[in-house]
Chain A
């Protein structure tokens, strides 16, 4: 999974009917200092994450293993909202 921050939402009315009812969030990846990196993904929200929240996202076919994304053409899903991150001192 990757760590990212919700920075926005994508609205799309014309889409595959299998994507009806889904919320698309723009998630920007973060580095080990939790600073935003340039890379981002559009992820379907399955846990109700709000703008600015730090989230965990699963990609690939695993993204279809939630009730909202089952059998839908989705490859990235927000599956958890992060409370705390701790990188051990090396």
Chain B
């Protein structure tokens, strides 16, 4: 999993039937320290009610479809939790 800050939202009504009702947000991957960006932003599915500015952790690749029980969920990034605290 990686850490990212939520920097926006994407709305899409026409999509795969098994993605109906899903929320898409824009994530900026972050470094562990110094609050700096680490690479380009991506779009991810969100079931954790993440809002702009929140620090979250997300999963990529086929594992991103695992939070969803429907079968045809073509997602390669999904938020799986909020970051409360990082101890380094």
Contacts and interface: CB of A to CB of B under 8 A. Distances in A.
B65 to A, nearest CB: 6
A82 B61 contact: no
B53 interface: yes
30 contacts: A1-B24, A1-B43, A1-B75, A1-B77, A2-B42, A47-B14, A47-B15, A47-B16, A56-B12, A56-B15, A56-B43, A60-B61, A61-B62, A62-B61, A62-B62, A62-B65, A62-B75, A62-B76, A65-B71, A65-B75, A80-B12, A80-B15, A80-B16, A82-B11, A83-B13, A83-B14, A85-B8, A85-B9, A88-B8, A88-B53
Interface of B: 6-16, 19, 24, 26, 41-44, 52-53, 61-62, 64-65, 71-77
